[in-house]
Structure 1
Amino acid sequence: MKQFYSTLFLLLISIIAYSQHTIEGRVLDAQTREALPGVSVQAGANGCLTNAQGRFVLQATADSLKITYVGYNTRKVPAGSGFTDILMEPSSTKLNEVIVSSNRIGQLRTDAPIAISTISKQMLNETKATSLEQVLNKVSGVYMVDLGNEQHTMAIRQPIGYKSLFLYLEDGIPIRTTGDFNHNALIEINMAALKTIEVIRGPASSLYGSEAVGGAVNFITASPSQTPMVKAQVESSNWGYRRADVTASSTMGKFGILIGGYYANQQNGYMDHSDFRKLALTLKTDYQISGKTKWTNGISLIDYKTDQTGGLDSTHFFNKDFRNFHTFSYRAVKAFRWKSSLEHTWNANNFTSFNVFFRSSEIGQNPFYAIRSTSNPLKARGEINSDAFKSYGMVLQHKKHFNWKNASLIAGLSADFSPATYYAIYIDVDKNAAGFFTGFTKKDSVLTDYNVDLLNTAAYLQADAELLPGLKVVAALRYDRMDYDFNNHLPPSAFTGAPDEQNFFHSWTPKVGATYNFGNDRGVYANYSVGFAPPNISELYRGVKVPTLQPATYHNYEAGGWFGFASNKGYLDLSIYRMNGTNEIISVRLDDGSSENQNAGKTTHTGVEWNLRYAPG
Structure 2
Amino acid sequence: MELLSLKLRALFVAMAVFNAVAAQTPLDDIERISTTASRFDSPALAAPLTLSWLDEQQLQRVNPVHIQQALVRIAGVNVQRGNGQEYLPSIRSPVFTGAGACGEILTAEDGIPLRAAGFCNINELFEAGTEYASSVEVLKGPGSVLYGSNALHGVINVITQDPIDAQTLLSADWGSFGYTRAGLRVGNGLSQHGVGLNLSVTDDGGYRDEEGIKQTKFHVRYRYDSTDLALTAGLSFSDLDQETAGYIVGPDSYQDSEIAQSNPNPEAFRKARATRLWVKLEGQTELANHPVKWQVTPYARDQDMTFLMHFLPGQPLEQNSQQGIGLKSALELTLSPAHRLTAGIDAEATDGSLTQFQESPTQGSAFLMATIPSGQQYDYQVDAQVLSAFFQWQWDLTTQWQFTFGARAESIAYDYTNNMLSGRTRDTGEPCGFGGCRYSRPASRDDRFNQVSPQASLSYYASENSLWYASVGQGFRAPQATELYRLQRDQVVADLDNVEATNAEIGYRFFSEPISWQLAVYHMEKRNGIIRDTDFFNRSESDTRHQGIEISANYTLSSHWQVSGALTYGRHQYQNDQGDLVIAGNDMDTAPRRLANAQLLWQPIESLDVELNWVYTDGYFLDPENEEYYAGHNVFDVGMVWAVTQNVTLTAKIANVFDREYAERADTTSFTGPRYFPGKPRSGLVGVEYSF
> TM-score, normalising length from structure 1?
0.78
Q: What residue in structure 2 maps to residue 428 of structure 1?
A: 360
| Cα displacement (A) at 1:342 | 0.9
Aligned equivalents of 1:563, 1:392: Cα separation in 2: 40
Deviation digits for residues 238-279 of structure 1, max 9, x if unmatched? 211111111111311111111002111112x33112111100
Aligned equivalents of 2:450, 2:398: Cα separation in 1: 36
Q: What residue in structure 1 maps to residue 297 of structure 2?
A: 355
- Determine which of 389, 413, 416 is the counterpart of 2:348: 416
Q: What residue in structure 2 maps to residue 513 of structure 1?
A: 457
Letter in 1 for 2:299: F
- Determine which of 578, 595, 602 is the counterpart of 2:523: 578
Residues 1:246 and 2:246 aligned together: no
In structure 2, do the counterparts of structure 1 residues 411 and 314 end up closer, same or farther at CA, with 3 Å as the change threshold?
A: same
Q: What residue in structure 2 maps to residue 394 of structure 1?
A: 327
Letter in 2 for 1:149: G
Letter in 1 for 2:419: H
**What percentage of aligned pairs have identical amino acids?**
22
Aligned equivalents of 1:497, 1:282: Cα separation in 2: 39
Q: What residue in structure 1 maps to residue 32 of structure 2?
A: 97
Aligned equivalents of 1:493, 1:611: Cα separation in 2: 52
Letter in 2 for 1:464: Q
Instruction: Give 3-state SS (helix, strand or coil) of 2:209's partner.
Output: coil
| Cα displacement (A) at 1:122 | 1.4
Residues 1:231 and 2:169 aligned together: yes
Instruction: Give 3-state SS (helix, strand or coil) of 1:104's partner.
Output: coil
Q: What residue in structure 1 maps to residue 385 of structure 2?
A: 455
Asked if the contact 2:46–2:467 (Cα under 8 Å) also holds between the matched residues in 1, the reply is no
- Determine which of 234, 255, 259 is the counterpart of 1:298: 234
Q: What residue in structure 1 maps to residue 498 of structure 2?
A: 551
Instruction: Give 3-state SS (helix, strand or coil) of 1:368's partner.
Output: coil
| Cα displacement (A) at 1:515 | 1.4
User: What pairs with 1:180-195 in structure 2 (closer than 5 Å)?
Assistant: 180-195=119-134
Instruction: Give 3-state SS (helix, strand or coil) of 1:539's partner.
Output: helix
Asked if the contact 2:379–2:420 (Cα under 8 Å) also holds between the matched residues in 1, the reply is yes
| Cα displacement (A) at 1:192 | 3.2
Aligned equivalents of 1:401, 1:423: Cα separation in 2: 50
In structure 2, do the counterparts of structure 1 residues 313 and 583 end up closer, same or farther at CA, with 3 Å as the change threshold?
A: closer
Letter in 1 for 2:390: Y
Asked if the contact 2:37–2:144 (Cα under 8 Å) also holds between the matched residues in 1, the reply is no
Q: What residue in structure 2 maps to residue 596 of structure 1?
A: 537
Deviation digits for residues 147-171 of structure 1, max 9, x if unmatched? 1322111110110112110001122
- Determine which of 467, 476, 492 is the counterpart of 1:532: 476
Asked if the contact 1:412–1:459 (Cα under 8 Å) also holds between the matched residues in 2, the reply is yes
| Cα displacement (A) at 1:213 | 1.0
Asked if the contact 2:129–2:158 (Cα under 8 Å) also holds between the matched residues in 1, the reply is no
| Cα displacement (A) at 1:578 | 0.2
- Determine which of 66, 87, 91 is the counterpart of 1:152: 87
Q: What residue in structure 2 maps to residue 474 of structure 1?
A: 404
Letter in 2 for 1:609: E
Deviation digits for residues 34-72 of structure 1, max 9, x if unmatched? xxxxxxxxxxxxxxxxxxxxxxxxxxxxxxxxxxxxxxx
Instruction: Give 3-state SS (helix, strand or coil) of 1:141's partner.
Output: coil
Aligned equivalents of 1:613, 1:196: Cα separation in 2: 17
Letter in 1 for 2:326: G
Aligned equivalents of 1:265, 1:283: Cα separation in 2: 22
Deviation digits for residues 371-421 of structure 1, max 9, x if unmatched? x2xxxxxxxx2211111101111112111112241x211110011000100
Deviation digits for residues 445-493 of structure 1, max 9, x if unmatched? 2111000001111000011021111111111100000001110011112
Aligned equivalents of 2:511, 2:190: Cα separation in 1: 41
Letter in 1 for 2:230: K
- Determine which of 98, 111, 135 is the counterpart of 2:70: 135
| Cα displacement (A) at 1:317 | 4.1
Letter in 1 for 2:238: I
- Determine which of 308, 311, 334 is the counterpart of 1:366: 308
Letter in 2 for 1:237: G
Residues 1:280 and 2:217 aligned together: yes
Residues 1:330 and 2:269 aligned together: yes
Q: What residue in structure 2 maps to residue 120 of structure 1?
A: 55
Q: What residue in structure 1 maps to residue 574 of structure 2?
A: none
Asked if the contact 2:84–2:244 (Cα under 8 Å) also holds between the matched residues in 1, the reply is no
Letter in 1 for 2:72: N
Aligned equivalents of 1:246, 1:131: Cα separation in 2: 19
Q: What residue in structure 2 maps to residue 169 of structure 1?
A: 108
Q: What residue in structure 1 maps to residue 607 of structure 2?
A: none
Looking at both structures, which has the greater relative contact order when contacts are Cα pairs under 8 Å and sequence separation is at least 6? Answer: 2
Instruction: Give 3-state SS (helix, strand or coil) of 2:389's partner.
Output: strand
Aligned equivalents of 2:536, 2:171: Cα separation in 1: 52
| Cα displacement (A) at 1:427 | 2.1
Unaligned runs of 5+ in 1: 1-92, 373-380, 433-442
Asked if the contact 1:498–1:546 (Cα under 8 Å) also holds between the matched residues in 2, the reply is yes
| Cα displacement (A) at 1:364 | 0.7
Residues 1:110 and 2:55 aligned together: no
| Cα displacement (A) at 1:205 | 4.9
Q: What residue in structure 2 maps to residue 41 of structure 1?
A: none
Aligned equivalents of 2:478, 2:405: Cα separation in 1: 23
Asked if the contact 1:421–1:450 (Cα under 8 Å) also holds between the matched residues in 2, the reply is yes
User: What pairs with 1:431-446 in structure 2 (closer than 5 Å)?
Assistant: 445-446=375-376
Residues 1:613 and 2:571 aligned together: no
| Cα displacement (A) at 1:521 | 1.7
Deviation digits for residues 522-578 of structure 1, max 9, x if unmatched? 22111001000111111111224213221011000000101357xx21122000000
| Cα displacement (A) at 1:184 | 0.2
Letter in 1 for 2:346: S
Q: How many residues align?
A: 496
Aligned equivalents of 1:210, 1:281: Cα separation in 2: 28
In structure 2, do the counterparts of structure 1 residues 343 and 236 end up closer, same or farther at CA, with 3 Å as the change threshold?
A: same
Q: What residue in structure 1 maps to residue 152 of structure 2?
A: 213
Aligned equivalents of 1:96, 1:195: Cα separation in 2: 16
| Cα displacement (A) at 1:496 | 5.1
Instruction: Give 3-state SS (helix, strand or coil) of 1:123's partner.
Output: helix
| Cα displacement (A) at 1:337 | 0.3
- Determine which of 285, 293, 318 is the counterpart of 1:346: 285
Asked if the contact 2:378–2:486 (Cα under 8 Å) also holds between the matched residues in 1, the reply is no
Aligned equivalents of 2:405, 2:76: Cα separation in 1: 25
Aligned equivalents of 2:207, 2:32: Cα separation in 1: 42
Letter in 1 for 2:223: D
Aligned equivalents of 2:505, 2:293: Cα separation in 1: 31
Letter in 1 for 2:412: M
Asked if the contact 2:109–2:129 (Cα under 8 Å) also holds between the matched residues in 1, the reply is no
| Cα displacement (A) at 1:430 | 9.5
- Determine which of 569, 576, 598 is the counterpart of 2:514: 569
Asked if the contact 2:163–2:221 (Cα under 8 Å) also holds between the matched residues in 1, the reply is yes
Letter in 2 for 1:305: D
Moved more, 573-582 or 148-157: 148-157
Aligned equivalents of 1:342, 1:96: Cα separation in 2: 25
Letter in 2 for 1:209: G
CA RMSD of aligned residues (A): 1.9
Letter in 1 for 2:423: S
Deviation digits for residues 10-53 of structure 1, max 9, x if unmatched? xxxxxxxxxxxxxxxxxxxxxxxxxxxxxxxxxxxxxxxxxxxx
Unaligned runs of 5+ in 2: 1-27, 365-372, 425-438, 560-692
Aligned equivalents of 1:444, 1:313: Cα separation in 2: 26
Aligned equivalents of 1:238, 1:333: Cα separation in 2: 25
Letter in 2 for 1:424: Q
- Determine which of 374, 395, 398 is the counterpart of 1:465: 395
Asked if the contact 1:382–1:429 (Cα under 8 Å) also holds between the matched residues in 2, the reply is no
Aligned equivalents of 2:304, 2:242: Cα separation in 1: 14
Residues 1:307 and 2:243 aligned together: yes
Aligned equivalents of 2:51, 2:239: Cα separation in 1: 31
| Cα displacement (A) at 1:94 | 6.5
